[in-house]
Homo-oligomer: A and B are copies of this chain.
Amino acid sequence: MSVTAAQGFRAAGVTAGLKASGKPDVALVVNDGPSRSAAAVFTSNRVAAAPVQWSRQAVSDGRADAVILNSGGANACTGAEGFQNTHRTAEKTAELLGVSAGDVLVCSTGLIGEQLPMDKLLPGVEAAAKALSGEGGAEAAEAIMTTDTVKKEAVFSGTGYTIGGMAKGAGMLAPGLATMLVVITTDAQIEAAALEMALREATRVTFDRTDSDGCMSTNDTVVLLASGASGAVPDLDEFSRGLGMLCSKLARQLITDAEGASHDISVTTINAASERDAETVSRAVARSNLFKTAIFGKDPNWGRVLSAVGTTDAAFEPENLNVTMNGVQVCRNGGVGDPRDQVDLEGRDVAVVIDLKAGEESATIWTNDLTHDYVHENSAYSS
């Protein structure tokens, strides 16, 4: 399933020993063609990891034959040696597959500021190449997990073609993109330029609006590979819609598995003067630690929503604001609305809707609550 759901792809996940836990930590996805169109988007963090710097360059010609991924080390802030290690990883993969190193993308995830143990990683790459299979998607999805508790996969069936994807990401989930590695494959016949346009639009309204803890990673990468193996030339609208749905499904899986989360929260701003305003307001609320701890405490503390909205430059009048939490309009016209004890926050899903009454645009940010477990997991991560 996932990255091997589409025809023309093989994948593998193996254990190289990068993780202290002894769990799988190297994944490989290979496009057997006939086409090798590719597009990718990367973190906008200016402190970009070595594999991001490498892959950004490698995919710029619109072609990629394979993606080699490792968990157990981010290879970020590792200087010239770190970049050389990424280069060696790509070369080793290329050699084993009989392709050019410049057509191998590299992704890494794990702790920042440590060199990768190449004496373990390179044999891992070799093992992964040997284990490649048309059924290897699930193993690959498992090998990219870090603090993820479940693997993330999704599939979309288009007219005569398939799109499949895998993702990892649990902490450091924030826009542009969330901390995530995502590989998506399709057997549709589609050119790199069209792939890139579809991918940018899909990530803009899915992964870019997934904001678990406001922290932007150094390693985020979303890769889309097209083999053309189905022979189907997709309708571009359908393909974009399908890709968007697939990315949305993966993004929701990321939020649901976010570190320590006990509530999945959608923050939707409606009737904004612009989509940017709507996104800004939703994100300000989604990033408020006070709002997030209140939801953890099952407390419909709408004052913390309003105080976050008030920090933005979006167009609105404070005395017009409405806030609805799980269907109850707790704030009406900037003041007290229906009784807050009518709001039921026992379930996992929380929907907050903010009405700016300033236009017709809307946007949703997906986030989660701030819990004891988040603090616990993140205070213990590298030590």
Contacts and interface: CB of A to CB of B under 8 A. Distances in A.
A311 B254 CA distance: 21
A167 interface: no
A47 B334 contact: yes
A378 B307 contact: no
B310 A45 contact: yes
A82 interface: yes
B216 A310 contact: yes
Nearest to A312: B46
Contacts of A309: 46-47
A274 interface: no
A307 B213 contact: no
Contacts of A123: none
A215 B290 contact: yes
B307 A47 contact: yes
A77 B372 CA distance: 29
B378 A297 contact: yes
A371 interface: yes
Interface string A316-331: 0011010000000011
Interface stretch (A1-9, A111-119, A195-203, A245-253): A111-119
B307 A379 contact: no
B79 A297 contact: no
Contacts of A310: 45-48, 216, 218
A214 B287 contact: yes
Contacts of A39: none
A293 interface: yes
A308 interface: yes
A71 interface: no
Given A48-B318, A289-B214, A303-B76, A375 B331 contact: no
Contacts of A77: 302-303, 306, 331, 334-336
26 contacts: A45-B311, A46-B312, A47-B334, A77-B302, A77-B303, A77-B334, A79-B336, A81-B335, A111-B301, A112-B301, A112-B303, A113-B331, A215-B308, A216-B311, A217-B307, A289-B370, A290-B378, A293-B375, A293-B379, A294-B382, A296-B375, A299-B380, A303-B382, A372-B372, A372-B376, A375-B375
Given A79-B319, A294-B381, A303-B382, 14 more contacts: A46-B309, A77-B302, A78-B335, A113-B331, A172-B307, A215-B289, A215-B304, A289-B370, A289-B374, A294-B378, A294-B382, A296-B375, A299-B380, A375-B375
